[in-house]
Amino acid sequence: MDSERTEEYLEAIYKEQSKGESASTSFLARDLGVSQPAVTDMLKNLESKGLIVYKSSQGATLTDIGVERALGVIRQHRLWERFLTDILGMSWDKVHDVACKLEHLDVPEVEERLAVLLGDTDTCPHGHAIPDKNGNIKLDKTIPLTKFQPLQRVNIVAIDEGDSGLLREIEKKGLKPQVIVTIKKKNEDGSMEIEAGNKKISLKPQLAAILLAEPVAANKLIAAKTETTLSKLDAGNTAILKEYTGERNLLGRCLSLGFTPGSVIKMLENYNSGPVLVKVHDTAVALGRDLADHITVTRTENAC
């Protein structure tokens, strides 16, 4: 039970860290359904095991070891969700809670056979990336639908699971991953009006907030330009970060430095076989070639 609780904390912290944020005690208390004093005690325990770095004023972030363990749990969880929907035929609004129980089954042979059975699928039913067997994962480059403006066309990529009632409502509206919609109107109360195909759909705030999307225009730009690694950009080049493809023990470091999917990067200096100096989020960052070689970017002339 202690091991399972540890993994639940690591998984919750990872999800916040993947958004470029540390996990506060208040967030973890809400997410895990426990008291803040209990969270504080657990975070101190996880830090003593070398799994997180915790500062009361800033929250918790995972160490490399913590990231590795968190991604292992996330892989199990999302594989089980896919198994429950694709093989057992369960509806997508029910599989999250069941997968939360199965994800702690630490039997490598079962995980391997599960992946083979599913054909090494790369997303869960809700559209989230599944880490591969080596712990590599495509970085999330989506934002909530509520962040987009009227007239924008976006591709719904994933759904923050939310509660089962909201998932059922989303399914009834036909808004599963890979559906392209146009934002028609945003209301002051957070509700939205969108159009999918020729169908007009009204979304209450809770629904709009858990739909994660990316601009269709960005997809077209990526398709039209040349993908390369960050290490191969010349000084003055700009690019959009697509994903990190290296070993998972360095993923947390990339996230902490601000290298998140969709980020605009400008190469300031490329020292050939040495490090690179880039600007990301208006900050100059020196990056070792070991990391730069594993960051996939898309060249573009439209970066700001």
Q: 25-66: per-residue pLDDT in tens? A: 999 999 899 999 999 999 999 999 999 999 988 899 999 999
* CATH 2.30.30.90 holds for 143-219: yes
Q: How far apart are CA 39 and CA 62, in angstroms?
A: 15
Provide CATH 1.10.10.10 ranges for the chain: 2-62
pLDDT at 164: 84
8 A C-beta contact, residue 78 and residue 138: no
pLDDT band at 1 (very low <50, low <70, confident <90, very high): low
Does the structural domain 2-62 have CATH classification 1.10.10.10?
A: yes
> pLDDT class for 302, splitting at 50, 70, 90?
very low
What pLDDT does residue 283 have?
Answer: 78
In the chain, the largest separation of any two C-alpha atoms, in whole Å, equals 56
pLDDT of residue 193 exceeding 50 = yes
Start and end residues for every CATH 2.30.30.90 domain found in the chain? 143-219, 225-299
pLDDT digits (tens, 9 = 90+) for 118-150: 886 789 999 999 999 888 888 778 899 999 999
User: What order of strands is seen across the sheet that includes strand 238-244?
Assistant: 227-229, 295-299, 238-244, 264-270, 276-280, 283-287
**CATH code for the structural domain at 225-299:** 2.30.30.90
Please enumerate in sequence order all residues whose Cβ is within 8 A of that of 220, keeping only pairs 6 or more positions apart, or say none.
none
Beta strands 143-144 and 59-62 are: unpaired
Label residue 239 by pLDDT band (50, 70, 90): confident
* pLDDT tens digits along 149-182: 998 989 899 998 767 888 999 988 888 888 889 9
CA atoms within 13 A on the CB side of 49: 15
- Helix or strand or coil: residue 192? strand
